[in-house]
Structure 1
């Protein structure tokens, strides 16, 4: 084997596992900071005055939590691109990797914009305009809650489906990923059906944990067959 072919088979890009861990850790840190600093958050469609009062009363922990969530958005995008490159290296030539890349980049960008909107609200809430504050808060929820969950679902589906078909990871894990992905896609209905908002933390936290396990189990390369092992089928 030539030096060039040896280099071409080395896994490229950053390691997937640490990227998934950093993304999940920053996500958890942001949520813990928000809950510790505010006690609770108003419902997305709570009265405008209640939403504005919440932002005004807890500006600092909200800004810190938004900063941590923004930090989580960056490694998520890098993870999506790295997984896509890994899948191509594994010889996955189906739409799954592109769908996963699209979902991961979308989730990363939507979360990034959502956190900036949240940070902006907490940095300068106008007590005289609770309606404007509530509208921006709902925009942040739509981007970083529902939009993020839909994108995350596509990312997980783009990994789980090829992994299930090609047996790149245990099938039970791929099936679990498909369940989480389905929850992410159904979560868009939470914009009109409040009870379905329960799916959002399931996708955010369950999906983040699933990505960690999948990132470590996804093989860096498919084993190359020994050319000396030629079967009758190969010669036909």
Structure 2
């Protein structure tokens, strides 16, 4: 009796639900923290120091909530990564891209966890009482959750998209969108030396959410 599982019936969590939870948690953090701050948006580290200090001093609770949701969103991203890589490999995609996707997903989730923790730390009274510590935590949180996350997520997107394109599994636009997200994510690291490139970070994150949901639907079986 053959007990080997058919590639069309993969075990594991429902990938589409996992992807939606990841996106929903991150967006919930943005919406709730902005509402708590009376509509004020979380400041960029490239803004004037007094703007950053004024926001964090007045809205430390909002920063802590944003950090919590950012931390929470990392775990479904890890589940998505492991499940998606497993499903691709189970269908015969024994190519380096699957390992690249695994590394990228783990790194992007790890950077998200650290960024969330630093964002929570910046709301603590002991940090708020020291402008130097406040700005350090704020900038480290941005670096981890901004260019570091975007570049790592780009590895995840490229690593999954290339096998999907080669194997002609699912709509081709999903694979090409993943490659575009990967390219923009890598370019976003230029933010560290040219702040004007910071706009590439949301251009990685939000189209990346669309790609992730579409990829989840593509690999749902």
Normalised by the size of structure 2, how large is the TM-score? 0.92
Alignment partner, residue 83 of structure 1: 84
Alignment partner, residue 29 of structure 1: 28
Kindly report structure 1 stretches of 4+ aligned residues shifted beyond 6 Å: none
Q: Is the 8 A contact 2:63 2:122 kept in 1?
A: no
Structure 2 unpaired stretches of 5+: none
Cα separation, 1, equivalents of 2:135 and 2:25: 26
Max Rg structure: 1
Distance 1:8 1:45, change over 3 A: closer
**DSSP 3-state at the match of 1:5:** coil
C-alpha deviation, 1:10, in angstroms: 3.5
Alignment partner, residue 151 of structure 1: 152
**DSSP 3-state at the match of 1:163:** helix
Q: CA RMSD in A?
A: 1.7
**DSSP 3-state at the match of 1:204:** helix
Alignment partner, residue 130 of structure 2: 129
Cα separation, 2, equivalents of 1:178 and 1:127: 40
Q: Is the 8 A contact 1:49 1:130 kept in 2?
A: no
Query: Do residues 12 (structure 1) and 11 (structure 2) align?
Result: yes
Cα separation, 1, equivalents of 2:68 and 2:218: 30
Cα separation, 2, equivalents of 1:181 and 1:9: 28
Cα separation, 2, equivalents of 1:177 and 1:219: 17
Cα separation, 2, equivalents of 1:58 and 1:68: 16
Distance 1:128 1:6, change over 3 A: closer
Cα separation, 2, equivalents of 1:68 and 1:27: 6
Q: Deviation string for 1:107-154 (max 9, x for gaps)?
A: 001100110111011022545521221111000000011111111111
C-alpha deviation, 1:3, in angstroms: 4.6
Q: Is the 8 A contact 1:55 1:125 kept in 2?
A: no
Alignment partner, residue 231 of structure 1: none
Aligned residues: 219
Cα separation, 2, equivalents of 1:126 and 1:51: 13
Normalised by the size of structure 1, how large is the TM-score? 0.87
Alignment partner, residue 56 of structure 2: 55
Cα separation, 2, equivalents of 1:6 and 1:14: 16
**DSSP 3-state at the match of 2:9:** coil
Alignment partner, residue 208 of structure 2: 207
**DSSP 3-state at the match of 1:122:** coil
Distance 1:134 1:170, change over 3 A: same
Alignment partner, residue 114 of structure 2: 113
Alignment partner, residue 232 of structure 1: none
